[in-house]
Chains A and B, each alone.
With several copies, the nearest count.
Chain A
Amino acid sequence: MVDLSVRIKDLTFKNPVLTASGTCGFGEEIADFMDLSKLGGIVMKGTTLKPREGNDYPRMAETPSGMLNAVGLQNKGVDNFIQNIYPNIKDIDSQFIVNVNGSTIEEYVELTEKINELDKIPAIELNISCPNVKEGGMAFGVSCPSAEAVVRAVRKVYSKPMIVKLSPNVTNIAEIAKAVEGQGADAVSLVNTFLGMAVDANTRKPVLSTITGGLSGPAIKPIALRMVWQVYQAVKVPVVGMGGIMNATDAIEFMLAGASAVQVGTAIFIDPTIPVQIVSGIQSYMETHGIQSASELTGSLQI
């Protein structure tokens, strides 16, 4: 039997396949399609301190091998999460990670403090890369000083594993990764969506209510893969890779390039059973290639 488990700091995932924030709700929404306990982890929908209505419709545009979204962190706020969602998920045998968002550093901190109280939330993913909100979000993630400031502040109030989610909309993502590592990030996850745009030539208007949105899906995979590879070489903390992963081969590519674990996002919209298919696909790959432990895959690309 091959060992699929991977670790981030002191946290063990039973396999390297997580679902990405904003693409799997709080897990419950995809439970019809699979046994959630088969997943390495579930990164839940981006959460904010206060409820957010998100952006106006239309929020979505299909693009070649991908899609743009402009959801804008619609969520009912952390208190609702604690009261109504946490009780349902806390006994499911997987790792449920909260994706933490804020418009200000204070909001990030206050939200994290509330999450810190929840025993069964083993880690947070600090999102400094949402391109779909007017304040905060990606603005924090595109310069080293602002990224450092958020991470430093949150680190002070949170001692469990903190994964910092990076924006790909930067000249040098490895620099940002090093900066957040320097402030105590236990891992980095990348990539969030690329800022993109869709135009309707017929109406001569933008397709999205917000004009620009976040590009995800296979279209971005080559860029995401390159970024994971660059960041892996730049930092010592584990890298969680994502961006267009549709099958086990894609997931393995990210691991070879340096990812310790992967997240599956947009693929879920195409087929919600893909994450568990990837788990078994990685297992067969390891068996075929005589690899004992999934962690051996990480960064094992032969240059």
Chain B
Amino acid sequence: MKKTVQELLLVDNIQLNHDNFKLVLQAPTKLPQIFPGQFVNVEIKKATEIFLRRPFSVLDVNYENNTFSLLVKILGRGSKVLTTYQSGDKISVIFPLGSSFTLPDKNDRVLLVGGGSGVAPMLFLAKICGLKPENVHVILGARSQQDHIDISAYKAFGNYYFTTEDGSLGEKGFVTHHPVFSQELSSFDKVYTCGPDLMMKAVAKEAADKNIFCEVSLENMMACGFGVCLCCVEKTKEGNKCVCTEGPVFNINKLTW
């Protein structure tokens, strides 16, 4: 898949909750195929202090309109300014970047576990994985109810469970405290996860214990996003690997976690 730098048109910027926004970007020409786990690198010009681009996973693609969307969570200066962009603004984006999750086989039962902005690739994967909804189980974790976003647009593609640290929505605790983990984990053929490192490590451990195929999508500090700077390395069993080109999706067997 050829990577390009393009000026995209921001066609929508929707606030999803107190710190999450959905940005919809339109390309002037036909979009290449983009898969869950892949990401884009966004230039944020409207801020005095931002120098490097900021990476964001793709949340969804609409090939008819040549649009794709990003789920942007306000973390620091860059993400904050990005959420103030308005429809009609042009944004320079490098895409598509990185590897995608291994799509499940036709009859797989899959568990998707997302937290924080890691929710984006999980929803995308649920939508396009092509499985029967009853075989797609998605656990989404957050600190509290107000940190969850409305996922009704994705409801049709699977079964959704929520956890919150304060118990304000769904199960109380971390994602791995959800009964799915204690009761049904062995029933899944594949586990996919994206979110905070600690969360992914906990999920990976559960999957590894039961010897279930598990892929995680790592987020780390990137300068380029397309494999030239060698800043984004993760220590793997085969030495340092670039997260932006050899990942961000890794099978947990490769990691030294």
Contacts and interface: CB of A to CB of B under 8 A. Distances in A.
Chain A–chain B contact at Cβ < 8 A: yes
Interface of A: 22-25, 29-30, 32-33, 45, 53-54, 56-67, 69, 71, 74, 217-218, 266, 268-273
Contacts of B227: 25, 29
Nearest to B49: A64
> Which 7 pairs across A and B sit closest by C-beta, in order of nearness?
A60-B231, A269-B224, A32-B3, A25-B228, A59-B231, A29-B227, A269-B223
A300 to B, nearest CB: 24
A60 B51 contact: no
Given A69-B231, A269-B228, A53 B239 contact: yes
A29 B226 contact: yes
Interface residues of B, number: 31
Contacts of A53: 239-240
Given A74-B240, A270-B53, A30 B5 contact: no
A58 B226 CA distance: 17
Given A32-B226, A67-B223, A269-B223, 17 more contacts: A22-B229, A24-B228, A25-B228, A29-B226, A32-B3, A33-B5, A54-B233, A58-B231, A60-B223, A268-B224, A269-B52, A269-B228, A270-B51, A270-B53, A272-B226, A272-B228, A273-B5
A46 B3 CA distance: 24
A71 B224 CA distance: 13
Given A53-B240, A57-B234, A217 B226 contact: no
Nearest to A62: B52
> What is the interface of chain A mostly: helix, strand, loop, or mixed?
loop
Interface in B210-257: 220-235, 239-240, 245
Contacts of A32: 2-4, 226
Contact of A65 (B3, B51, B92, B240): B51
Contacts of B221: 57-61
B14 to A, nearest CB: 28
A58 to B, nearest CB: 6
B52 A74 contact: no
Contacts of B224: 23, 268-269, 272
Interface in B117-137: none
A57 B236 CA distance: 12
Contacts of A60: 221-223, 229, 231-232
